Chain A
């Protein structure tokens, strides 16, 4: 049901422009790999241990020259496996110790490499699918009514065990999703720390062990309250694909994964981010995780009234990049925020217009709504009022996920009692205004509808501008969040490697198979990929056929699996219908 009477043609035009923009990036992405992608490939085949205080995967990837890396880590591992009759882990250990020199490994023909590595790849992908299934079962077995918006709370003590205490208290107060904020600047680390951590600045390190500890704690408390509790972490940064892999294996439900956040707010090189973003989303698509994008952040550096078209434009782009990486609409938790200056007259109406239009333009997407931060001043009483208005808009416009604002925003990390106060207010407002949205319609030419119309118009213009300039140039010119970032500036560019013609990454090949449900007309196979497959010949002919049959049980490859996964991918929505039905999203 449309309340805003948006111009559907204009929305479609925005999608077309965003698709063209995303293709500009995809052209680059398809030709490159990164150290982070290769490290996550290693993690996926079981290289999870630490070596001299750093992950073994880092040591192995660092032992390759850029030239060597352009063939892909599995090319080298496949070569070594073809000759050494040893396990991947022990080969990796030898490489890290310097006992195995990659340039001394004799050449092997492509078939031998393929035979050595494809089983590893299949295993890795199966592991992702199993994790997705586990999560789906856990969610379904809990059953229960899950009214929207889901209440999303943050813990950030720096100590994972303290986080557990606070998370469990929040769940008892009504929280549905627990996000563990990462330690300040973890996104700038070019490796993922190991083990359980008890010290962090402004948050807790994202490590595989920490994920495991929190997942277990949430399952325990979830059983107690009879609800499935969703676990959230953050993958933006130099280790985007690795954190995606860890999150997939450890049963995360949401992962912050934005195509531009790292570039704009962490000054990470855009080529690195775009390449990493694609692979990490392929992993996420298969593991039933829902991504959350970070458009809300734009409104912390730019004023919401003026800058909301940037948010919407970025959502369109994130959507297209996500679909290109096999994510389903139901996995695209696009973000936006309640950040209007409270001094603006009728700001509440404008917030409604913005929230409503995001919902209507992305009806199947589990939209994530972020609380005010820019205008939180330290006056906790006024802040609480702002948060309540935000909650009212959230329930009124049927947002999927509501990140509850804290009255003490801008003062400190939330205290136990801050979460309690926020939950109590949200519980009341969501209950009191449960069906308010269904009762309201907006006057035909009123402020809400006019605001939505003008935002859509400006979004379209912005997308056109970005398309004309080129996505990367547009970022260089500060088109988003008023942040200008140079194409070759920022961190991590030296970790981007142009793929050789013989680049070999069977995991990526498996993940790139298009699942059946992708009916999106913008989602035709990219010509480059087709060409690449032709070049490979041999074993790929089978895969091409396989593709034609759209993922249905091809020659012993567990082909039906991606379908299952994608069902699992309905993540946030226990209420979502199976993919064959056309509807979904907001219930």
Chain B
């Protein structure tokens, strides 16, 4: 059996891994799902065989609950056979140094020498501002102060349901150095289409600074997605305001100096790349979906 418990210390391959149940490499996983079939022996067998079909071995249906008419809810366990090699995983993260508050203030003071104007908004029909507020408002999140706390930022928070056009106009009017768009609605990839439209508008708007830093954020946004729709960076769940602050400052300096992308890190004395941070309890800011009314 794949989850055979062996006596003695296990030889652990820390690169090629499988899900961990209660033994190294046992591959045990938990499932909960619904089948459109009335509960009964047929349903149980269907659930079990379905997991086998997915490539899992020794599936076990822990509970089978009839639900409404003609639907059955299952909780099941099974053992995975596949494993994954960590060294072969490409990661998509914005590359920039994260320096402590004092250093960042110092850096902005010396290299930018004026206030950096940040315009942020939740665009489209989305009414949720918790995300953008967590990043922008002085309070910040989990003890990490928001952008308003930094003396060199001038923060303009347009809040929710901002029209793309309005956002661009505001960015022009405020002479924005950075623009922060929060996107939450995720149905039918609407958020991506909308980001593409905005990105095009930003490109075509000649009155904007050529060095404008464009950032997208939200629960379904990551760096790769944001890049693909024409933004400089994307921040997903768990992002801290200090990370965004660092990115804005470093990216702006890079853009002003005309250095190519991703060549920035060495410009900061004595600092390396942002360390990979363990995911903490997810930043409610970027989540917090409600959807009880539209």
Contact = CB atoms under 8 A, between A and B. Distances in A.
Interface of A: 154, 156, 158, 165, 168-170, 172-173, 179, 181-188, 201-203, 234, 236, 256, 261, 265-267, 294, 296-297, 300-301, 370, 373-379, 403, 409-411, 413, 415-417, 420-421, 424, 483
A203 B32 contact: no
Given A185-B125, A300-B128, A172 B34 contact: no
A201 B190 contact: yes
A185 B163 CA distance: 13
B67 A417 contact: yes
Nearest to B187: A201
Interface of B: 32-34, 65, 67-69, 71, 73, 124-130, 133, 159-161, 185, 187-188, 190, 219, 237, 281-282, 284, 287-294
Contact of B73 (A201, A266, A374, A420): A420
Nearest to A424: B65
A256 B293 contact: yes
Contact of A377 (B34, B125, B287): B287
Contact of B185 (A172, A201, A267, A416): A201
A373 B130 CA distance: 11
- Can you list the 8 inter-chain pairs with the closest CB atoms, starting with the nearest? A169-B68, A185-B125, A182-B294, A377-B282, A410-B287, A410-B289, A417-B34, A420-B67
Given A182-B293, A202-B187, A376-B284, 16 more contacts: A168-B69, A170-B68, A181-B291, A184-B125, A187-B293, A201-B185, A201-B190, A202-B185, A300-B290, A373-B288, A374-B284, A377-B281, A377-B284, A416-B34, A417-B32, A417-B67
A158 B33 CA distance: 21
Contacts of A267: 160-161
Most chain B C-beta atoms within 10 Å of own C-beta, residue among A168, A256, A266: A266
7 contacts: A261-B293, A265-B160, A300-B288, A373-B290, A373-B292, A377-B282, A403-B292
Contact of B159 (A256, A294, A370, A483): A483
Contacts of B65: 420, 424
A187 B291 CA distance: 13
Contact of B293 (A236, A379, A417): A236
Contacts of B71: 169, 416
Contact of A379 (B124, B282, B288, B289): B282
Nearest to A233: B293
A203 B284 contact: no
A484 to B, nearest CB: 9
A265 B190 CA distance: 20
A478 to B, nearest CB: 10
Nearest to A185: B125
A490 B268 CA distance: 44
B269 to A, nearest CB: 37
Contacts of A201: 185, 187-188, 190
Interface of chain B, helix or strand or loop or mixed? loop
B288 to A, nearest CB: 5
B33 to A, nearest CB: 7
Contacts, number: 118
Nearest to B74: A417
Contacts of A187: 293-294
Most chain A C-beta atoms within 10 Å of own C-beta, residue among B126, B219, B287: B287
A142 B60 CA distance: 43
Contacts of A297: 290, 292-293
B292 A370 contact: yes
A226 B73 CA distance: 24
Nearest to A382: B281
Contact of A416 (B68, B159, B281): B68
B68 A266 contact: no
A376 B127 CA distance: 17
Contacts of B290: 297, 300, 373
Contacts of A172: 67-69
Nearest to B282: A377
Nearest to B129: A301
Nearest to A224: B69
A416 B125 CA distance: 26
A424 B129 CA distance: 32
Contacts of B187: 158, 184, 201-202
B219 A410 contact: yes
Most chain A C-beta atoms within 10 Å of own C-beta, residue among B69, B161, B291, B294: B294
Nearest to A236: B293
B294 A185 contact: yes
Contacts of A173: 67-68
A373 B185 contact: no
Contacts of B69: 168-169, 172
A21 B244 CA distance: 42
A235 B219 CA distance: 28
B89 to A, nearest CB: 21
B103 to A, nearest CB: 30
A266 B161 contact: yes
A185 B133 CA distance: 21
A409 B293 CA distance: 14
A473 B200 CA distance: 38
Given A168-B69, A417-B32, A417-B73, A373 B289 contact: yes
A417 B190 contact: no
Contacts of A261: 293
Nearest to A411: B289
Contacts of B288: 300, 373-374, 376, 410
Nearest to A375: B284
Contacts of B287: 376-378, 410
Contacts of B128: 300
A483 B84 CA distance: 47
B75 to A, nearest CB: 10
Contacts of A403: 292
Contacts of A413: 291
Contact of B33 (A165, A300, A375, A417): A417
Most chain A C-beta atoms within 10 Å of own C-beta, residue among B68, B130, B159, B282: B68
A149 B281 CA distance: 32
